[in-house]
Structure 1
Amino acid sequence: MTRTVVPPAIPAAASLLLATLWGFAVFGDWSRQAFCTTSLGASPDCADRIASVIALSVMVGVVAACVTGAAWLVRRESLYGVAVAAWVVALVVLFVGGLAAQ
């Protein structure tokens, strides 16, 4: 049986793209606009709730950034997959928390 090898550039690029998406959602105020803006305007209660969700997502994002940096520094292919998974978890926390904050 042959083993398919994924070049490290693919998960590295995926990690960068997910990190960029997460960064815009957290620091670019996309999450507040997406989950708290209604036809009546922004709800201050929702903004407070989404701020706590963002704080939780930032904690996961810090772990993801550390794993991504470690994967680049030590060049271990197994860490690239962990880094991508960590960014996905950070985005899932933000999305599910945002839905709950509405």
Structure 2
Amino acid sequence: MEASMQSPFRDAPKSLNIFRIRFPIGAIASIGHRISGVLLLFGLPVLALVLDRSLASEAAFESQREAVDTPWSGGAAARPDMGRRASRARRRAQAGHEYRH
């Protein structure tokens, strides 16, 4: 076979194991930027919907606050003592006690 007829991809890697390929810093930044853009694309409308619903009434606000306080959402997981403080404050408010810091 002539030299001009050989495939230019003759020395290309045979396996495309993405974890073995070393990406340049620009590629890593680009991939991270695209991922964050997709997260914002789907996350901001959800956050806007939650804000809209929480501003509708006091009951809707309490409903949204309780949804955020669940352990799986990260509300209580971000600061473990906040769940106890919030529930203690709620019990005091329901009992008619004044909440003090």
Q: TM-score, with normalisation over the residues of structure 1?
A: 0.34
Larger Rg belongs to: 2
Per residue, is there more helix in 1 or in 2?
A: 1
